[in-house]
Structure 1
Amino acid sequence: MYTKQISKSRTINTTMVKEFNTQTVVSVGLEIFWQALAKDFIVIVPKVLPQHVKDVQVLEGDGGLGTVLNFNFCSDASTGSYQKERISELDWSSYEIGLEVIEGGHLNRGFSFYKTSFLLAAKGPDQTEVNVKISYEAENEDVKSAEPTLFYIRSLENYLLHDS
């Protein structure tokens, strides 16, 4: 697995939204990784990150665009006890999903906007390139690393290769 990271800023509607981009390759085929990342993650996330996430609940929607999810964290989570996210991007044909934090979690840590987007591409029959974009707005915070997101991707890869 390799990782490439890029950080940049841009102004949207007179608001400074910063971006942090990274890329990695996993040893799991595109369709299998997409299924786990975008379709089955409500069930898979607590299995992949049992030390961090107790459960994921659907509060609104059917798992598609606009769906609101509640991630309940374990007691030692640094972002608080929960985080609500909305699926704000979803494109089945281009394998793209974006999750925007709407309450708790990162918003309790000084961010006024925080969204993680994933774009997948096949690198071969058993490899998938995962492009991650973290878009955020904060006065005193900068995303200098996507390590928690990359940790999730590596944990998901390991789960799909060995435990599923």
Structure 2
Amino acid sequence: MASKAQFEIQADQVDIKDLWRALTKDKVEFLEKAAPDLLTELRILEGDGIGLGSLIFVSFVPYGAGAAPAVLEPFKERIVEYDETKHLLSFLGVEGGYMNLGFTRYLVSFKLDDIGAGKILITSSLAYDLEQNFDGAQLLDGFLKLLRYYLESVVKYLQKLKTDQETNEGRL
């Protein structure tokens, strides 16, 4: 039986186009800079890395961000939804990682909405199934913390870039 968890983050002083690009086309570069303590490797195995059907390999640092399990095996995810006009992106777990810890299926989605005044609402959802008779509450909590850390790191990095740019423009 499928379950769902969701959370929202409000990103202030961030352009929706920049945030979308940081989560899609430039995700490898942004993750390396925004959250160097999170990943050891992120590789595109199939496709272009942003389009439908792209397969991505991810390996986390042990104890990365304090939210991942002590040892989270590398895993593969496939992009199953990519809508640039709606700013909607979804990844389906394929193998490894959380799939070896009690999840039988998971789908992570990010939806960006411009709510005005330089604010973006990021809605992140996790639809999942767990192994029968498995209490995955702690694992689910860690998964959600990891997603939140990832998104907050990208937002903070974009805010820093904007502040640095404004500071440099003020010096001219």
Q: The TM-score by the shorter chain falls in which range?
A: 0.7 to 0.9
Residues in 2 aligned to 1:59 and 1:144: alpha-carbon distance in whole angstroms: 28
Report how far residue 144 of structure 1 moved: 4.5
Gaps of 5+ in 1: 1-15
Gaps of 5+ in 2: 163-172
Residues in 1 aligned to 2:125 and 2:63: alpha-carbon distance in whole angstroms: 26
SS in 2 for 1:39: coil
How many residues are paired up? 149
Identify the structure with the greater helix proportion: 2
Report how far residue 49 of structure 1 moved: 2.2
2:81 counterpart (51, 76, 89): 89
Query: Match for residue 25 of structure 1?
Result: 10
1:37 counterpart (11, 23, 36): 23
1:151 counterpart (133, 149, 152): 149
Larger radius of gyration: 2
Percent of aligned pairs with the same residue?
Answer: 27
Q: 1:110-139, CA deviations, whole angstroms, 9 ceiling, x for partnerless residues? A: 101111101110012521100111011003
After TM superposition, the score normalised by the length of structure 1 is: 0.82
Equivalent AA in structure 1 for residue 9 of structure 2:
T
In the TM superposition, structure 1's runs of 4+ consecutive aligned residues that sit over 4 Å from their partners are none
Identify the structure with the greater strand proportion: 1
Query: Match for residue 71 of structure 1?
Result: 58
Cα distance, 1:47–1:108 mapped onto 2, change above 3 Å: farther
Equivalent AA in structure 2 for residue 19 of structure 1:
K
Say if 2:86 is the partner of 1:100: no
